Structure 1
Amino acid sequence: MFVPKSNFLWHWLADRLTRHRSVMLMIVVESHGSSPGKPGAKMAATANGECFGTIGGGALESAMLKEARAALQEIAFEPRLRRLQHHVAEDGEASGMICGGEQTVLQYPCRQDQSALFRSLADNPQGVLTLSPACIAFDDAQTLPESCRFTRQGDNDWLYRESVGWSKQAYIIGGGHVSLALSRILATLDFDITVIDERENLDTLTRNSYARQKLKLPYRNVGNAIPEGNQVYVFIMTHSHYADQKIAEHLAGKKVAYLGVLGSRKKIAHLKAKLAETLSCDELQRIRGPIGLPIHSHTPEEIAVSIAAELIQISNSANSAPCLLSD
């Protein structure tokens, strides 16, 4: 079973804190324009030059690593925010990059006695990490409706909160070859994956080691297994066109981030024509199909790539808000 990539960072941090007095944690908390580091991007570094993760690469990252190593030599270094512009400007500090945009990086020194906290972060599947000038804390009983949230009143009055572990949930209905290929690629994108199928002894489902949950349920009961939420993504790809139609009809009223049906344009047109007989216009418009970007994909692996690309496109579109910002 795959674990969130962020867990590797927490393991690394906890391990290094057992051997070093302090480690610098750097988090991108704000990002505008074409900045290479997006909110939630992280990197940690030790005073002797070891590092893990990335906050965008290039000149910015090199400068931040140099600053981190120097700061860790100071006994009383306090958390601070660094606003960097990726172009030459009169206000703000230039990052040395010319890609445009700007980002704010939180430099947070972590102490040796906080290693247990990072072990807890690494070992828990979900929770909320909170950082402020006064403290760092993790609560595995909390959740956030978004990936991260940053508020700032001043340089010494700010709060950063982030959903750690699994934040995006994928529910793949149907356990066939495309389901297996999609599970593989969504695992690398930090999705918590659940696959649902009603068939017995399905080889592709047995071989699916990427899903955290594999449920055998009659398709008529699938709605009870899928929650609502703006981090919930649902993919309908059963072995039956009729089953796809009935499941889509049943789930159309669910408030989820994504609800899509796998199939050709002809199949989806027929499915939507049938659904139009029972669903409202709003419900019908919630159903995406054919899912995936039109890249002439044919194999299960190519189809999975096209679907993942569509999700990335949606997530990175101008209208998406992966991190809520406020002043």
Structure 2
Amino acid sequence: MRDVVRHLIRALDDGRELLLCQVVETRGSTPQKAGAIMAVDPDGGQVGTLGGGCVENEVKQNAVRQLGEEGVRLHSFVLDHDYAWADGLICGGKMVIATEALKGAGALDYYRRLHQAIETGEGFTEAVVVAPERVEDSSPGRRFLFDHDGKPLTCRPGGAFPDVLGERLTALVDRPRARVDQGVAWLPVLPRIRLVVVGAGHVGQAVGNLAAEADFDVWVVDDRSQYASRERFPKAQKFIVGPVEEVLKTLEVTRNTFVLIVTRGHGHDQEALFHMAPTPASYVGLIGSQRKIKMIFESLREMGIAADDLARVTAPVGLDIGSRTVPEIAVSIVAELIARRNLGPKAATPTPSTCAS
């Protein structure tokens, strides 16, 4: 979403017209879920995707016909045998996609506010009217933007926020899924998660780089500048170099922070967990064997770390996919991180079949 919205803003700021295509509702199995967006240039070029294949191509063709028009069109696609056989999209689901030709100051102002909401990383909710007869003073595709606390930010076109929207809004702390309710498509974007990778060795590097691709904000902590480097972590947002026991004392940690401890030694792991277990971080994970974890936990209890703080630590880390190699271990760990981010603490975290350290 971030790249698509940036592309929209650049085009609108240059006075160019652009086509926005967004999935606002899905049912059953579909290649993309509600919230997916794609920007289409008048020449057919695109940024973002709705899942590819025949549906995306047809959406692009329909959208280009809207150049110069005002208003939003809603398109429904049923991915059944007859429709999608040629492209392999025999999903059996349904997608509703909103398309609109964007231009002018009104669209630019709205998407600048949306971009600001994305960049804060605190999460937001966008509401899109899909059945205007069920929402007072609304037209198809009218958009409303709420911040992470549910406060109205802006809407397009302008005007008042219907009271009914505030009554139906679901708080982000409840991890809502996209849904359609009483004629409105609710498209929540959960807070961005900062992943602090403590240890920049081979596992930390593989996890950090894959996690960045999965839209985590990656911070790397290590006492070796040659390891915690842009060369090894090209997409990391921040590098913190120094002794673990020193830098972690002052590390900024919030409920939107995940911490993964994958240092090169048991002593460093224990020191890192000593500082991170009592923090507000919503996920603290420690890699290693059951024997190592037991020893570290026993030592930390003797050092005064509360049992409740240790009980919430995930150890060992990673989903059980039979991983052996470093890339496989990274996949298992990042899959677990994604599950925790999207599903919360209720996400299952099976004990992995392999470990490191």
- TM-score of the superposition, structure 2-length normalised? 0.66
Q: Percent identity?
A: 26
Secondary structure of the structure 1 residue equivalent to 2:47:
strand
Shift of 1:73: 4.0
Equivalent in the alignment of 2:103:
111
For 1:111, give the aligned amino acid.
K
Equivalent in the alignment of 1:25:
20
Equivalent in the alignment of 1:242:
267
Correspondent of 2:91 among 90, 99, 102: 99
Check the 8 A contact 1:15/1:115 in 2, yes or no: no
Equivalent in the alignment of 2:58:
63
Check the 8 A contact 2:199/2:264 in 1, yes or no: yes
Equivalent in the alignment of 1:76:
70
Shift of 1:291: 1.9
Check the 8 A contact 2:3/2:47 in 1, yes or no: no
Secondary structure of the structure 1 residue equivalent to 2:218:
strand
Distance 1:267 1:140, change over 3 A: closer
Distance 1:21 1:193, change over 3 A: closer
For 2:189, give the aligned amino acid.
E
- TM-score of the superposition, structure 1-length normalised? 0.71
Secondary structure of the structure 2 residue equivalent to 1:288:
coil
Distance 1:267 1:194, change over 3 A: same
For 1:180, give the aligned amino acid.
Q
Shift of 1:110: 2.2
Shift of 1:170: 0.6
Structure 1 distance, partners of 2:212, 2:175, is 17
Check the 8 A contact 2:263/2:269 in 1, yes or no: yes
For 1:241, give the aligned amino acid.
H
> Is 1:292 aligned to 2:318, yes or no?
yes
Correspondent of 1:304 among 327, 330, 336: 330
Correspondent of 1:86 among 79, 88, 96: 79
Give CA-to-partner distance per residue, 1:218-263, whole Å, 9 cap, x none. Answer: 544626524332x432101223313323433443344544321122
Secondary structure of the structure 1 residue equivalent to 2:21:
strand
Distance 1:19 1:224, change over 3 A: closer
> Is 1:205 aligned to 2:239, yes or no?
no
Shift of 1:172: 1.1
Equivalent in the alignment of 2:189:
162
Matches within 5 A, 1:263-282: 263-272=288-297, 274=299
Structure 2 distance, partners of 1:228, 1:160, is 24
Secondary structure of the structure 2 residue equivalent to 1:52:
strand
Structure 2 distance, partners of 1:172, 1:25, is 36
Structure 1 distance, partners of 2:8, 2:102, is 9
Check the 8 A contact 1:79/1:109 in 2, yes or no: no
Higher relative contact order at CA 8 Å, sep ≥6: structure 1 or structure 2?
Answer: 1
Give CA-to-partner distance per residue, 1:96-131, whole Å, 9 cap, x none. Answer: 742234444343442233346546766873364745
Equivalent in the alignment of 2:277:
252
Shift of 1:205: 0.8
RMSD of aligned Cα (Å): 4.1
For 2:54, give the aligned amino acid.
A
For 1:205, give the aligned amino acid.
A
Query: How many pairs were matched up?
Result: 302
Give CA-to-partner distance per residue, 1:35-74, whole Å, 9 cap, x none. Answer: 221243221224442222111222332332233223x146
For 2:79, give the aligned amino acid.
H
Give unpaired runs (5+ residues) of structure 1.
1-5, 321-327
Distance 1:17 1:190, change over 3 A: same
Give CA-to-partner distance per residue, 1:3-35, whole Å, 9 cap, x none. Answer: xxx333223323444677642322234444432
Structure with a larger share of its residues in strand: 1
Distance 1:145 1:214, change over 3 A: farther
Check the 8 A contact 1:36/1:56 in 2, yes or no: yes
Give CA-to-partner distance per residue, 1:259-279, whole Å, 9 cap, x none. Answer: 211223442343345556666
Check the 8 A contact 2:68/2:101 in 1, yes or no: no
Check the 8 A contact 1:130/1:159 in 2, yes or no: yes
Shift of 1:204: 0.7
